[in-house]
Structure 1
Amino acid sequence: MTSKQIDLIIKSWERISHEPQLIQKFYDKLFEIAPETRVYFQGDIAKQSEKFAYTLGFVAGNIERMDKIKKDIEELGRIHSKLLIKEEEYSYLKEALLITIDEALDGGDNTETIQAWDHVLTYISDLMINVSRGDKNKKKTFFSKIFST
């Protein structure tokens, strides 16, 4: 990522992170784009919304150190893999989030900012998908067969 892209993400997150309905608007957009994803949110959506907002803040706050949080992102991929999130659903999430961010920025030409977010979200989803693929392709060991349930 370029320093300009990093700056755009930091500044845009500072602008929109305090919008009270940001995450709800994201979920509304996600369910509009991909209604089938609603099955992943059978529990308390407020709790999930909190986690998602925290994750976005974590990414924006560490955008200059993406290499340092790579393992955290990979772990998030493992968690989502266990939830049986499909690869194509990452693109739905990205699309919904980019639209939500663009609408939250409300005004002006946000093209470069949205491209910066697209770049980082693609990086994150690629990491999560790749770790998920790797975990699925790992040969089960004797102990992993016994102790995984």
Structure 2
Amino acid sequence: MTPQQVTLVQDSFAKVRPIADTAADLFYGRLFEIAPGVRAMFPEDMREQKKKLMAMLGLAVTNLHKPDTVVPALQTLGRQHVAFGTQAAHYAPVGEALLWTLEQGLGPDFTPEVREAWTETYGLVARVMQDAAADMRA
């Protein structure tokens, strides 16, 4: 990621923070719409899960420029997701739901450059998590 992409992601996420509850609702609503099979992997009461989502996004976004901080946290998350039954194929709809949520939440501020920066960010996050999960399974 370029320094400009890091700034775009961080600045755009700062606009999402005030609507974190709505963003989490949008995200999970969209995820369960496009990948209904994953719903069973989550608790009935999603309040804590939504908080965890926004906290992890916040950690990742805040520390994008600090790989020594963000990579171990993402590796731990990737290993934890193995126990939940997460498979490599689940990462694509999560990314799609994330981008859709950001588009809804940011409106016209979700420019093509912001989309590209978030796409790159999610790709990095997903790769780190998937690599850690694969190492754990091996």
TM beyond 0.5: yes
Q: Which structure 2 residues correspond to residues 99-138 of structure 1 after superposition, within 5 A?
A: 99-107=100-108, 110-137=111-138
Quote the RMSD (CA, aligned, Å).
Answer: 1.2
2:59–2:70: 8 Å Cα contact kept in structure 1?
Answer: no
Give the count of matched residue pairs.
137
**TM-score, length basis structure 1:** 0.87
CA distance in 2, matches of 1:59, 1:70: 9
Letter in 2 for 1:22: A
Aligned to 2:47: 46
Distance apart, 1:131 and its partner CA: 1.2
Structure 1 stretches of at least 4 aligned residues deviating more than 2 Å after TM superposition: none
Letter in 1 for 2:49: Q
Distance apart, 1:108 and its partner CA: 5.0
Aligned to 1:16: 16
Distance apart, 1:3 and its partner CA: 1.1
**TM-score, length basis structure 2:** 0.94
2:5–2:114: 8 Å Cα contact kept in structure 1?
Answer: yes
Which structure: greater helix fraction?
2
Letter in 2 for 1:120: T
Aligned to 1:66: 67
CA distance in 1, matches of 2:74, 2:8: 21
* Higher Rg: 1
* Ranges in structure 2 where 5+ consecutive residues have no aligned partner: none
State percent identity of aligned pairs: 27
* Ranges in structure 1 where 5+ consecutive residues have no aligned partner: 138-149
